[in-house]
Amino acid sequence: NAGVTQTPKFRVLKTGQSMTLLCAQDMNHEYMYWYRQDPGMGLRLIHYSVGEGTTAKGEVPDGYNVSRLKKQNFLLGLESAAPSQTSVYFCASSSGLGEQFFGPGTRLTVL
């Protein structure tokens, strides 16, 4: 099992550009999450999904959109990137029983 994978691993954008981060899990988990991690801070929840076709806002959703068209995939989109979105993005999945399984992260820089 690959667990949770994320693509790309690194990306540099210019202000105003758009991009999509892909998260995939092979554990048949219903719940998936997107977090961002900034220096000196813990992870903050951006959006989450409790099943295929569902999404909901987390703590810091502004500037991001998500989609869960397939159970195994959870996409995070930035329509118009801003320097404040420079961060490391982590995807996680869970069966709902407590433990979350994390991907390796995507390091995004917005110039």
Partner 1 sequence: SQQGEEDPQALSIQEGENATMNCSYKTSINNLQWYRQNSGRGLVHLILIRSNEREKHSGRLRVTLDTSKKSSSLLITASRAADTASYFCARPLSGGYNKLIFGAGTRLAVHP
Residues that bind partner 1 (CB under 8 A): 4, 31, 33, 35, 40-45, 48, 50, 56, 58-59, 90, 92, 94, 96-105
Q: How far is the CB of 93 from partner 1 (least distance, A)?
A: 10
SS3 call for 27: coil
CA distance 102 to 90: 7
Q: How far is the CB of 59 from partner 1 (least distance, A)?
A: 8
Compare residues 17 and 22 and give the one whose CB is closer to partner 1: 22
CA distance 6 to 75: 10
Q: How far is the CB of 45 from partner 1 (least distance, A)?
A: 6
Compare residues 15 and 54 and give the one whose CB is closer to partner 1: 54
Question: Alpha-carbon dihedral of residues 74, 91, 30, 53, nearest 10 degrees?
Answer: -20
Compare residues 29 and 81 and give the one whose CB is closer to partner 1: 29
Spatial CA neighbour of 103 closest among 28, 13, 32: 32
Q: How far is the CB of 50 from partner 1 (least distance, A)?
A: 5
Q: Are 94 and 29 in contact (CB under 8 A)?
A: yes
Compare residues 44 and 71 and give the one whose CB is closer to partner 1: 44
Beta bridge mates, 46: none
